Amino acid sequence: MIGFRHGVATSVGRVRQVNEDSYLAQPPLYAIADGMGGHGAGDLASALAIETLTGCARLGVLSVPGVLATLDAANQAIAGHEPAGMGTTVTGLASLETAGGDHLMVFNVGDSRVYRVVGGRLDQVTVDHSVVQELVLAGTLTPDQARTHPRRNVITRALGSDRVLRVDHWLLPALAGDRYLLCSDGLFSELAEDQILPLLTGGDPQQAATALVDAANDAGGHDNITVIVVDIDGDDEQAADGDRVADGDTRPRDQLPGSHD
Amino acid sequence: MTDVSYVPGDQTAIVGDRCWVLIDAAPDSAVVAEIWPVMQGEPELDALVASLLRLGLGHAPDFALLVATDGRHRLICRGRSGATLTGGGSPGRVDGTGLSTWRECQVDEAVEQVVLGAPPAGSDLRLPASAGVFLARGIVVDLAPPLTEASGPASPVVSSPASLQPAVLPPAMPALATAAPVPPPGVMRTGPDGDSGTTRYDYLFGATQSRTVEEAAVRPADESDSGLPFPGPPAQEPSPRHARPPEPLGPPASPGPPRLPEPPGPPRSYRAPEPSSQPESYRPPGTPGPPDPYRPPDLYGPSDSYGPSDSYGPPGLRGPAPGGLIDAVPWGPDPDDPPSGPTRVARIGPRLERRPPGPPRPPAPPRPPEGPDAADGTTVMRGDPLRIASGPVSPDRIGPTVHALLCPSSHVNPPNSSACRLCGVPLPPQDPVTVLRPVLGVLLLSTGDVITLDRGVVMGRSPRTEFSGGERPHVVKLPSGDGEVSRTHLEVSLDGWHVLVTDLHSTNGTIVVLPGRDPERLRPGEPTPIQPGTLVIVAADVDFRYEAAE
């Protein structure tokens, strides 16, 4: 079986008066919501999203349809709540069993992100729903230009803004030894990926989370910053399913007893 | 009296008796023609701003506007156009750089000269100007002797210690307001009902109608009070799919101080502090808190929130005007884009892009950046926050799009369909629309699990999980099938409306059974289209079926 260790840090930053980020760190579900709307609407929207997800996390056993239905419920809750016009991003990591093994479901709406540390580099799993991301996909901007682009804050999808919510999600095997980073845009708009990586990989999850938020504040702290670092633990890497051949060679079928292929 | 001169240049100076504008536009542009008559006589600030913003915030030119109204001078600067103030108080430079709206301030009486446009240099050629339109890069307005009417006790602004009132942004842009200097209490002109003295212009955009206004700014949170119909379900009615109705939010779970990371520990959740804990910079002292914690102070209350000290705008223009201007709202459907039935949008996942009749065309290219929206990094939503209630909007372009035909129930179908793939109803004649690709179906695994085909799937006993470029697929770890399954065994990919399966040179191969056909072994590395109902056999006890459920 796999397990999780996590660290969390959040900061209002150095410019804003209100922290409109909310988060959930309750295995098997992790999530960050970055609210928008101002005048108290943003933090309400993100809190509503997290509130709804917390109910889902308490169920303990997650499924892809279950998480998607929960996000749909959060969308309806925010859209139907006063004041009208508020919204929130939401991104997260849910642990679930599928195909007989441990998997992770990464989900995203908006421009908060989930990264995975793999092979000593940072692999961004989510794709931002933002104007600058569209420009990056169109080849107009490089990712680094997007990070500082004046319109980097304009998102194209949010909970609470579309009656029919379209959530991006990705299934990934849960591999012991993997480390994931969930963050609001207050982190990556201050720090480039090559600044994030050494901080993320140094120390335990809590140390990494704290170091990242501190660094984003040192770099300006123009926005709220929230970071969750999650480690996937297991008894033995790749042995989670007890399959002796999991890492070995595939057995040709004609060597299998009873095979007539 | 005022003496006015101009510095010749390549922008347009418009000089009136009580109003001066330097605008980064050609002298023969429509905006100049429009504002000229508005500037005659007793100019109304609201009408001036409405003229300058007739194209919407996204396209309005940079400008600097100085207007004498009711004995005071107000200055409004948008974009790089700005003004330099000299004389008493603390002189300085004012501009709208970094703001997606504009900067507005009251000019202190002690200010003797305002230069609209580039900061003046001693060597600049200065020519006298009377009313007219000039090619200029600066307008020099000498205000001395100071206006005498302005010093009455009814004008709290004269107590301002600075030469300028701190930037006053329309409350329609709360996000930007956070970036502006916050005035000390007592400085802002305050109406009896707590009006902060700021002015809303956004209702004026109704006449010009532009969604880009919303693109550039955050709408006031309770603007729906202005009578905008919200055709959704009753606000508090929980959705049938609502797994758990939202509970009233209690006090913040952990509103802790900034920069204090939470200690590691057991599960917890964080809620941002309640709105009531917001700094009340914009609430004048003594104003009772709002009755509803989610309703901000009366910054943008009903039309009567313009206090008597507010000097500009005839009564008919204050707040949502009866008839005329408020007929259209910035976030309403585009008048050039007549709404199709709202159910078309509500019933299908992807949003629709209306297309004129004709052959399919690729999605429109992304729009170029329009302004320094990110002045303070505040996240804003593209388009109208109320698009739930409005007609079709431009599709979000993250993710592949396909051309589609709609059945009467608004299911999306491949362009060559004659009947709906989901409900079987014959498709009426129509032009295809471009939509984000819908979920093309599901894979029903022999383990009992369901994989959604919203993207491709890579499967194997220990599949590779690194991807670069292109769309990242789902990665599904299959049971080992007693070692028969290769690490990265096969891929299911989506191409337009097609579902293809590719054996990734697995040791034991992959077998597909198309409906009504004999089992076939896939050629390694060769994408093969499969139909709904196809069984894909990975190993003796590991297989999946592709079905077209949505």
pLDDT tens-digit map of B403-434: 899 888 888 888 988 888 888 899 988 888 88
Contact B221 A70 (CB under 8 A): no
pLDDT at A111 > cutoff 50: yes
B366–A150: do the CB atoms touch at under 8 Å? no
Residues of B in contact with A99 (CB under 8 A): 445, 447, 449, 451, 459, 476-479
List pLDDT tens digits, range B477-492: 998 878 889 999 999 9
Provide the pLDDT confidence category of residue B383 given band limits of 50, 70 and 90: low
Q: What percent of chain B lies above the pLDDT cut of 70? A: 52
Do B264 and A20 make contact, defined as CB atoms within 8 angstroms?
no
Token digits of residue A156: 């194209």
Chain B, residues 320-359, CB within 8 A of chain A, namely 345-351
Q: pTM for this one?
A: 0.56
Interface ipTM above 0.85: yes
Contact: A40, B278; criterion CB under 8 Å: yes
Residue with more model confidence, B217 or B491 = B491
Residues within 8 A of A (CB atoms), B 227-246 only: 230, 232-239, 241-246
Note whether B30 contacts A: Cβ–Cβ < 8 A. Answer: no
- For residue A226, what are its two tokens? 């929230």
Region of poorest pLDDT, from A252-261, B11-20, B317-326, B451-460: B317-326
Q: Average pLDDT, whole number, for chain B?
A: 64
Nearest CA in chain A to B242: A73
A171-175, B74-78, B501-505: the lowest-pLDDT one:
B74-78
Residues 6+ apart with CB under 8 A from B266: none
Compare B298 and B429 and report the one with higher pLDDT.
B429
Q: Do B381 and A80 touch (CB under 8 A)?
A: no
Q: Which of these, B436, B493, B175, B270, lies nearest to A127 by C-alpha position?
A: B436
B261 touches A: beta carbon within 8 Å: yes
Picking from B242, B271, B296, the nearest residue to A50 by CB comes out as B271
pLDDT at residue B326, rounded to an integer: 33
A2: pLDDT strictly greater than 50: yes
Q: Which of B161-175, B241-255, B456-470 has the highest mean pLDDT?
A: B456-470
pLDDT at B210: 32
Distance CA B503, CA B460 (A): 11
pLDDT class for B173, splitting at 50, 70, 90?
very low
Q: How far from the centroid of its chain's Cα atoms is residue B385's Cα?
A: 7
Please tell me if residue B200 touches chain A, with a CB cutoff of 8 Å.
no
Give the 3-state DSSP-derived string for A13-70, with helices as H, strands as E and coil as C.
CCCCCCCCEEEEEECCEEEEEEEECCCCHHHHHHHHHHHHHHHHHHCCCCCHHHHHHH
Does the pLDDT value for residue B118 go beyond 60? yes
**Rounded to an integer, what distance in angstroms lies between the CA atom of residue A132 and that of residue A155?**
8
Distances (CA, A) of B539 to A60, A238, A255, B30, B453: 32, 20, 13, 71, 21
Across the interface, whether the CB atoms of B378 and A158 are under 8 A apart is answered no
User: Is B192 a residue whose pLDDT tops 70?
Assistant: no
Note the pLDDT of residue B147: 46
For residues B428 and B296, which has the higher predicted lDDT (pLDDT)? B428
d(Cα B378, Cα A38) in Å, to the nearest integer?
9
**Distance (Å, whole) CA A95 – CA A103:** 6
Q: Please say if the pLDDT value at position B473 is more than 90.
A: yes
Q: What is the 3-state secondary structure (H, E, C) of B20-67?
A: EEEECCCCCCHHHHHHHHHHCCCCCHHHHHHHHCCCCCCCCCCEEEEE
What confidence tens digit (pLDDT) does each residue in A152-211 have? 888 889 999 877 888 999 999 999 999 999 999 999 999 999 999 999 998 999 999 999
> Which one of A25, A35, A150 has the shortest CB-CB distance to B267?
A25
**CB pairs < 8 Å spanning A and B:** 389
Q: State percent of chain B over pLDDT 90.
A: 19
Q: Is the pLDDT of residue B206 over 60?
A: no
User: Rounded mean pLDDT of B391-413?
Assistant: 74
Residues with Cβ within 8 Å of B269's Cβ and at least 6 positions away in sequence, in order, are A22, A23, A24, A25, A26, A50, A54, B253
Q: Which residues from chain A sit within 8 angstroms of residue B450, using beta carbons?
A: 64-65
Backbone angles phi, psi at A197, to 5 degrees: -55, -50
The Cα B193–Cα B215 span in angstroms is 30
